[in-house]
Amino acid sequence: MHLKSNRRAFVKSATLAGAAITLPAFRYSRVLGANARLGIASVGTGGKGWSDLNGVAASPQVEVLGLCDIDSSTSHLGQAAMKYSNARRYEDWRKLLDESKDIQGILVSTPDFMHAPIALAAMQLGKHVFCQKPLTHTVFEARQMQMAAKKFQVMTQMCNQIQSHSAYRTAVQIVHSGMIGKVKEVHSWQGSKPTWLRHIARPEGADPIPNHVRWDLWQGVAPERPYKEGMYHPFNWRGWQAYGTGQLGDFGCHILDPVFKSLALHAPKTLTASAPSIMPDSWTDQATVKFVFPGTEFTQGSSIRVTWYDAVDISPNRGLFADIPSEYKLPRAGSVLVGEKGTLVIPHVAMPTLFPEEKFPTDKTPIMPEVDHYVQWADACRGEGKTTSHFDYASPLTETVLLGTIGIRFPGQELHWDSKAMKIVNHAKAQDWLTKPYRKGWEPTWIS
């Protein structure tokens, strides 16, 4: 009850903006000259952050100037500090930003719930941002990220890096070329159950905080909780509502990406989930979400249905895929796009397959080359080319995925989304979940 009223009050006041994390209002960077080097800093240098950092730093035009992690052990800050030994080291990203005069680009590779607070603060300083998927923890934050990128004219890239893989680029090209005709319906899935903790009660008690972990900094904007070994940091935060976005949040921005790109989708009109009832703190371990989007130039009719299956066996639906022979083994994760002239299977992550096979000989399928998703961002910051998962694209994709996670809270109920007004128009309780309360003293400075 208390949470509900906080949430409502917040939605109301959020557009007016109140700020506890105050940062200087001037900006250092814009697009650099083509010969200039890009100074970067990484926030979250362990886990996926390690490959993000190395991916961007692979550009000879990039200099790593700052490293920030709340965990000083070898697999987190330690290995990055060893490799980029000249870079300044931080445990608090706010201090890094305070001292970031020489830095033009920030990598955000923390758990989901800290993406927006860090990235928004960085963009407000005029920094270019490379941010992990899903772009944010809430729908409201996703819209804020889009607004900030536009307002501060910075180069952005969400790290759904498979978008730049030859497989996904080829799938998008196939749809755009008209090979399968207008698309009639889409089914996307992650068939495996996640390996991380989920659908459990919050553990009781507290464990000693290891000396190398700054637990208070890890919690950031989230509600304060006792440290529990192996429960949250690292990696297992995914299954907890306060920190992660469940399996749909974890995989949606990857698997739905070629669907969004190829069909030029933007925002769903409605969504309906079916899922077991959700525990108070953790995410469910399976769900199905049916999204209906307005039709586009690549779809048949005035709307298109996209169904997401989360740890649900897709095989009982094979009857929907008339072009696919029964002996073909569907991938463990991926999408099927049923078109007027053929059916496209987009495995996650492998080259797409077209059906009926006799109609689409493999040697005739155009193969798109791979692009370096990381260096593409660094180059764009330096004035060379553009990014493809900039926040104008990544925010609507993330909003859709996170709307799906709201739907999971209200199984069986059709939610009607008005993207322009940012309203779930028929469901006040679902509307409340577009945003969340922030820990006192950690409230982001919102964009208006």
Interface with ligand NAD, residue 218, by CB under 6 A: yes
Minimal distance, residue 132 CB to ligand NAD, in Å: 4
Determine which residue in the list 43, 97, 107, 172 makes contact with ligand NAD, applying CB under 6 A. Answer: 43
- Taking the least distance from each CB to ligand NAD, the nearer of 116 and 259 is 116
Binding-site member from 28, 215, 227, 235 for ligand NAD (CB under 6 A): 235
Would you tell me how many other CB atoms lie within 10 Å of the CB of residue 163? 25
Backbone φ and ψ of 225, nearest 5°: -140, 155
The binder of ligand NAD chosen from 46, 66, 268, 342 (CB under 6 A)? 46
Task: Provide the minimum distance between the beta carbon of 82 and ligand NAD in the complex, in angstroms, as a whole number.
Answer: 14
Minimum distance of ligand NAD from residue 109's CB (angstroms) = 5
Min dist CB 137 to ligand NAD, Å, is 9
Instruction: In angstroms, give the least distance from the CB of 439 to ligand NAD.
Output: 12
Q: What string of DSSP letters covers 270-332?
A: EEEEE-PPPPSSB--S-EEEEEEEE--TTBSSSEEEEEEEES---GGGGGG-TTS-TTSPPPS
Q: Looking at 100, 104, 110, 282, which residue binds ligand NAD (CB under 6 A)?
A: 110
Nearer to ligand NAD, 29 or 42 (CB): 42
Q: Are 394 and 370 in contact (CB under 8 A)?
A: no
The residue among 61 and 72 lying less far from ligand NAD, judged by its C-beta, is 72
Q: Cα 330 to the chain's mean position, in Å?
A: 25
Neighbours of 327 (CB within 10 A): 5
Residue whose structure tokens are 């068939």:
191
Among residues 161, 163, 335, 431, the one that binds ligand NAD under rule CB under 6 A? 161
Which residue, 90 or 446, has its beta carbon nearer to ligand NAD? 90
Q: Judged by CB under 6 A, which of 103, 159, 344, 434 binds ligand NAD?
A: 159
Q: Applying CB under 6 A, does 116 fall inside the site for ligand NAD?
A: no
- Least distance between ligand NAD and beta carbon 190 (Å): 13
Return the residues of window 58-77 that contact ligand NAD according to CB under 6 A: 68-71, 76
Q: Give the C-alpha separation, 352 to 344, whole Å.
A: 7
The answer to whether residue 48 forms part of the interface with ligand NAD (CB under 6 A) is yes
Q: Does 181 bind ligand NAD (CB under 6 A)?
A: no
3-class DSSP state of 412: coil
Which residues, 88 to 107, sit near ligand NAD by CB under 6 A?
93
Please report, for residues 165, 192, 201, 236, 373, the alpha-carbon distance to residue 195 in angstroms, rounded to integers and kept in the order given: 25, 9, 17, 9, 26
Q: How far is the CB of 44 from ligand NAD (least distance, A)?
A: 3
Please report how the helices 391-409 and 246-255 are oriented relative to each other, as an axis angle in degrees rounded to 10: 150
Name the residue nearer to ligand NAD (CB basis): 69 or 379: 69
111 binds ligand NAD (CB under 6 A): yes
* Alpha carbons 382 and 289: distance in angstroms, whole number: 40
Closest CB to ligand NAD among residues 48, 184: 48
Burial class (CB in 10 A: 0-12, 13-18, 19+), 296: middle
Looking at 7, 32, 47, 64, which residue binds ligand NAD (CB under 6 A)? Answer: 47
Does residue number 246 form part of the binding site for ligand NAD (CB under 6 A)?
no
Q: Determine the 3-state secondary structure of 406 from DSSP.
A: helix
Q: Which residues are paired to 346 by β-bridges?
A: 335
What 68-72 contacts at long range (C-beta under 8 Å, 24+ apart), as own/partner pairs, is 68/41, 68/42, 68/43, 68/44, 68/92, 68/93, 68/96, 69/43, 69/44, 69/45, 70/213, 70/214, 70/215, 70/217, 70/218, 70/233, 71/46, 71/212, 71/213, 71/214, 71/218, 71/233, 71/234, 72/212
Out of 100, 104, 109, 164, the only residue in the binding site for ligand NAD (CB under 6 A) is 109
**What are the residues whose beta carbons fall under 8 Å from the beta carbon of 295, sequence distance 6 or more?**
301, 302, 303, 304
Closer to ligand NAD by Cβ: residue 218 or 355: 218
Interface stretch with ligand NAD, choices 54-62, 217-225, 382-390, 414-422 (CB under 6 A):
217-225
Name the site residues for ligand NAD (rule: CB under 6 A): 43-49, 68-71, 76, 93, 109-112, 114, 132-133, 159, 161, 217-218, 220, 233-235, 250
